[in-house]
């Protein structure tokens, strides 16, 4: 980008922020923010430790299980809502309600139902992710051009063939977009779930570090999480790009 007539690379804003952080830390301005260099040092030190690795493994496990559940439930539910009017009327209100509700507030309730362990976290991830996945799958299913549906019928497609060979593929760009958004929300869910449960995984570590003011480690953990979410989003976006060539031309 061009700023004041000079070509500035996009990374420049990151570098600027890094410098500010470093300065703030070195000058000991705020207790919360140790210098970036110390955070990075803590990061390097932290990653190979069994504490971190165990926590990361538990977190990853809960996350993956919760996401798989969210996709397995969300996609069919969304497609059903998109193609069957009755389902849409029945479920639509709930999906719209939960997609923007502050689900964090529900986590204590989930804890009471499922206990103070991994199950709660999996359910939390599921609940955070499933609504947006369903909503986007619904949008994709509704957007199928009428002539494609007619074409399939005219060549004798059965219901099952119609859903597997046409609907799923035609809605794929939207489904993938929904999964990408669901993944981000799922990361939120796994951290919040663990934070509130506070006995396992990354959430527990966050609690530990913040309580003991081990801010270098706290921020190191935060950086890892942000990077994880970013990488996930980037990966899904790559898959989306391979599929989006037909998102714009589905009507011909």
How far lies 206's CA from each of 86, 99, 120, 185, 224, in Å? 45, 26, 18, 18, 12
Whether the CB-CB separation of 250 and 143 falls below 8 Å is answered with yes
CB closer to other proteins, 54 vs 150: 150
CB closer to other proteins, 98 vs 162: 162
**Residue in 145, 213, 227, 241 binding other proteins, rule: CB under 8 A:** 145
Instruction: Tell me the H-state helices in the chain.
Output: 11-26, 36-46, 50-83, 85-100, 107-114, 118-142, 146-154, 159-161, 168-170, 172-197, 201-211, 215-243
Whether the CB-CB separation of 98 and 135 falls below 8 Å is answered with no
How far lies 33's CA from each of 47, 57, 71, 141, 204, in Å? 20, 27, 38, 47, 20
Binding mask 105-144 for other proteins (x = CB under 8 A): ----------------------------------------
Per CB under 8 A, which region of 18-26, 62-70, 116-124, 153-161 contacts other proteins?
A: 153-161
CB closer to other proteins, 99 vs 152: 152
The nearest distance, CB 147 to other proteins, in angstroms, is 4
Please provide the distance, in angstroms rounded to a whole number, between the alpha carbons at the two ends of the chain: 37
Does 233 engage in binding with other proteins (CB under 8 A)? no
Residue with tokens 């209100």, as numbered in its chain: 93
Does 241 engage in binding with other proteins (CB under 8 A)? no
The nearest distance, CB 165 to other proteins, in angstroms, is 8
CB closer to other proteins, 75 vs 171: 171
The nearest distance, CB 166 to other proteins, in angstroms, is 8
Does 148 engage in binding with other proteins (CB under 8 A)? yes
Binding mask 157-196 for other proteins (x = CB under 8 A): xx--x---xx--xx-x------------------------
Query: How far is residue 148's CA from residue 166's CA, in Å, rounded to a whole number?
Result: 8
The nearest distance, CB 85 to other proteins, in angstroms, is 16
Nearest to 140, CA basis, from 160, 166, 162: 166
Residue 29: helix, strand or coil by DSSP?
coil
Whether the CB-CB separation of 75 and 137 falls below 8 Å is answered with yes
CB closer to other proteins, 9 vs 156: 156
The nearest distance, CB 13 to other proteins, in angstroms, is 36
CB closer to other proteins, 106 vs 169: 169
Residues that bind other proteins (CB under 8 A): 145, 147-148, 150-158, 161, 165-166, 169-170, 172, 243, 245-246, 249-252
């Amino acid at each position: 980008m061009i700023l004041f007539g000079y070509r500035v690379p996009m990374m420049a804003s990151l570098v600027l922020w890094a410098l500010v952080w470093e300065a703030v830390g070195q000058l000991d301005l705020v207790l919360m923010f140790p210098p970036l260099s110390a955070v990075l040092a803590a990061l390097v030190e932290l990653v190979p430790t069994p504490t971190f690795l165990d926590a990361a493994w538990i977190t990853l496990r809960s996350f993956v299980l919760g996401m798989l559940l969210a996709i397995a439930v969300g996609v069919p539910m969304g497609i059903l809502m998109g193609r069957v009017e009755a389902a849409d009327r029945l479920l639509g209100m709930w999906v719209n309600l939960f997609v923007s509700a502050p689900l964090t507030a529900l986590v204590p309730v989930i804890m009471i139902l499922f206990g103070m362990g991994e199950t709660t976290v999996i359910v939390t991830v599921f609940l955070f992710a499933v609504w947006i996945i369903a909503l986007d799958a619904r949008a994709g299913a509704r957007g199928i051009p009428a002539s494609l549906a007619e074409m399939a019928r005219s060549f004798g497609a059965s219901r099952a063939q119609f859903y597997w060979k046409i609907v799923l593929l035609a809605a794929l760009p939207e489904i993938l977009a929904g999964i990408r958004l669901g993944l981000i929300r799922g990361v939120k869910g796994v951290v919040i779930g663990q934070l509130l449960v506070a006995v396992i995984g990354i959430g527990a570590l966050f609690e530990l570090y913040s309580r003991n003011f081990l801010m270098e480690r706290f921020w190191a953990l935060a950086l890892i999480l942000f990077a994880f979410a970013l990488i996930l989003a980037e990966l899904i976006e790559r898959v989306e790009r391979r599929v989006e060539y037909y998102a714009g031309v589905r009507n011909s």
